[in-house]
Amino acid sequence: MCDLLWLIPAAPLVGFLILIVLGSRIARTAVSVIGVGSVGISAVTAILVGVDVIGGTPPGDAFSLLMWQWMNVAGFSAEATLYLDGLSLVMMLVVTIVGFLIHLFSVGYMADDEAFSRFFAYMNLFVSSMLILVLSDNLLFLYLGWEGVGLCSYLLIGFWYREPDNVAAANKAFIVTRIGDTAMAIGLFLLFYSFDTLNIQAILAAAPQQWQPGATTAVLAAALLLGGALGKSAQLPLQTWLPDAMAGPTPVSALIHAATMVTAGVYLIARTHVLFELAPQVQFAVAVIGVLTVLVAGCSALVQSDIKKALAYSTISQIGYMFLALGIGAWSAAIFHLATHACFKSLLFLGAGAVMLSNHHEQNMFKLGGLRSRMPVTFVTFLVGALSLAALPLVTGGFYSKDLILWYAWASPVSTWWIWAGGLVGALITGVYALRMVFLTFFGEAKGHFTGRPGLVMQIPLIILAVLSVLIGFVQTPHSLGNIELFSDLLRNVFPAPAEVSATLSTEALMQIIAGLACLAGIAIAYIFFLRSPRWSSAVAENPQGALLHRFWFMGWGFDRLYDRTLVRPFVFVARINRRDVVDVVVTCIALTTEAFHRALSLGQTGKIRHYAVGMAIGAIITIGIAVLL
């Protein structure tokens, strides 16, 4: 069954090709069959392959499939090879299954859009690129997928390109991630320079022998890869593109946030974890960036009025948890949170999409409300997603993954107390903003202009994702709660075993109670401030300091303004100065001199042929004279 691995990225790619070439000429039904079906084929194949791998002996063994020799030049060779191990299996399943459900939802969501086939073409390419990224066995092939993902995010964020704002958002996403991509490309050059290969497994095997822990080259390589991951995963300080990326259609946001794109950075770090272990400073920086991002983005999510923006900041914050986990060496915990996050975040985005579609594309939560009874299915599923995001103890997937991260943040020897504390405060904030969205949108008095419930084709993905969001938690439970380790078993061959933790079962249980209380406290705060007595929240917002803080957080801590002042404006200023091409002055001077000589010489053109003959004669005499004299 593993031999069918090639079909997984190929099916959406074929779907893309068909749709982009023939899309405008075939019926909408055919477009949706091709668009959804191609990803469906991928998902089914991925599940079959997954069953095969998990059930195989030994479980979780790596498998690689050479598709073709891509290039072989002067000692450098790159193969288009797919590599399947526990990590890529998890990523592949997340991308295909979540991607498939999002595609299915899109059939309903985009039904009235005139560029229906273009949308599905881009979406298919997006999924295909992401699959290439996660299945590639060398960094060059991975980079192909990496850039493909970047391209598709650009195309889809600017999908409604007639609005200048959307185009600006697309450009921003492309340029900001490009900063990270450049760092990553340099990192790849450095790795090739050091190891003469870009094969990931070969590099990971050779690196510990060639580099001492903390060696300068190792630190540099890890830092450059981290730069790429920061851009793609929208972490501090390159997080500014993600809130603007909400300009795209809502299913695109779901795809970017859950299955593709932002998880790529997490995957990259997890995939090259050996390099980060050899560069402890960089790994610690990953944790610090993670915890800062959790708090910064979490605070911004607290005050957003746009439901999609709130979700966007929450994604940045949740990816921050994954970075935190990567930074303290809790590799499998990070990937576990990635998987649970993919389920509940795509659920939340699709739910938000359903809400918007049923309310005249109203995104402002303060203008919505009371949708609980009008959209029961959407309400229940959105609530499940929000509770999973808030990590409601015991029953949601988000609890088990976040709790695992917090537990390692507490217990891991490389972690510090303030990383744990930051994560805990982040959990509290998460609880507040997750339920704030639910309360503002679905409770309270009914506002907004309700136009009808979403169709079945949109409700089914919501229900499936809600079920997944709950069930996925039970594949990995802590020691105090059954100690199921299906998930980390799968990744056992990929990652080193986490450091031995010398903590008793009661300590672990205590930590879980603290984490659970943080979540419940967050939910309680949201209940008090946004449902029971909204006066309190408006009182805080009207207080001068509160208003200032509100505005500061609302604008995402002023990062956009900072970058605008320090980078964009100076650049535009220099560009304006250089509009007349300062550098070209030299070239222009040469041209002007030539022209002046030409004018001087053309004065000799009298039109009298005898004058020319005199010139020739004098010239001949001078030439002969020189020849004779010398």
Q: Which residues of this protein are in contact with another protein, per CB under 8 A?
A: 599, 602, 605-610, 613-614, 617
CB closer to another protein out of 373 and 605 = 605
State the DSSP H helix or E strand holding residue 82, giving kind and residue range, or none if neither. strand 76-84
126 C-beta neighbours (distance < 10 Å), count: 29
Least distance in Å: CB of 622 to another protein? Answer: 15
Task: Write out the two tokens for 451.
Answer: 């136009």
CB closer to another protein out of 27 and 627 = 627
Specify the 3-state DSSP secondary structure of 355. helix
CB closer to another protein out of 58 and 607 = 607
Least distance in Å: CB of 615 to another protein? Answer: 11
CB closer to another protein out of 579 and 599 = 599
Least distance in Å: CB of 603 to another protein? Answer: 8
CB closer to another protein out of 449 and 610 = 610
| Structure letter (DSSP) for residue 476 | B
CB closer to another protein out of 51 and 613 = 613
Specify the 3-state DSSP secondary structure of 467. helix
Report d(CA 464, CA 454) in Å as an integer. Answer: 15
CB closer to another protein out of 29 and 605 = 605
What is the DSSP code string of 498-532?
A: PPP----HHHHHHHHHHHHHHHHHHHHHHHIIIII
CB closer to another protein out of 55 and 607 = 607
CB closer to another protein out of 564 and 595 = 595
Residue with tokens 């957003």: 304
Asked if 210 contacts 195 with a C-beta cutoff of 8 angstroms, the reply is: yes
Q: List the alpha helices (DSSP H) in 196-240.
A: 200-210, 216-233
Least distance in Å: CB of 630 to another protein? Answer: 22
CB closer to another protein out of 164 and 607 = 607
Least distance in Å: CB of 149 to another protein? Answer: 58
Task: Write out the two tokens for 96.
Answer: 């295909």
Least distance in Å: CB of 623 to another protein? Answer: 15
Report d(CA 56, CA 273) in Å as an integer. Answer: 25
Asked if 192 contacts 76 with a C-beta cutoff of 8 angstroms, the reply is: yes
CB closer to another protein out of 505 and 624 = 624
- State the first-to-last Cα distance of the chain, in angstroms, to the nearest integer: 88
Phi then psi for 115, rounded to 5 degrees? -100, 50
Least distance in Å: CB of 610 to another protein? Answer: 6
370 C-beta neighbours (distance < 10 Å), count: 15
Report d(CA 8, CA 430) in Å as an integer. Answer: 35
CB closer to another protein out of 585 and 628 = 628
Asked if 345 contacts 468 with a C-beta cutoff of 8 angstroms, the reply is: no
Report d(CA 181, CA 232) in Å as an integer. Answer: 8
| Structure letter (DSSP) for residue 446 | -
Asked if 299 contacts 305 with a C-beta cutoff of 8 angstroms, the reply is: no
Among residues 286, 146, 144, 140, the alpha carbon closest in space to that of 203 is found at 140
Q: Print the SS3 string covering 371-431.
A: CCCCCHHHHHHHHHHHHHHHCCCCCCHHHHHHHHHHHHHHHCCCCCHHHHHHHHHHHHHHH
Least distance in Å: CB of 589 to another protein? Answer: 21
Least distance in Å: CB of 587 to another protein? Answer: 23
Least distance in Å: CB of 627 to another protein? Answer: 17
Least distance in Å: CB of 588 to another protein? Answer: 21
Residue with tokens 């808030």: 390
Which burial class, exposed, middle or buried, applies to 460 when counting CB atoms under 10 A from its CB (0-12, 13-18, 19+)?
A: middle
Report d(CA 586, CA 575) in Å as an integer. Answer: 19
Name the β-bridge partners of 77. 72
Least distance in Å: CB of 153 to another protein? Answer: 56
CB closer to another protein out of 74 and 600 = 600
Among residues 160, 377, 142, the alpha carbon closest in space to that of 268 is found at 142
Least distance in Å: CB of 613 to another protein? Answer: 5
Report d(CA 422, CA 403) in Å as an integer. Answer: 13
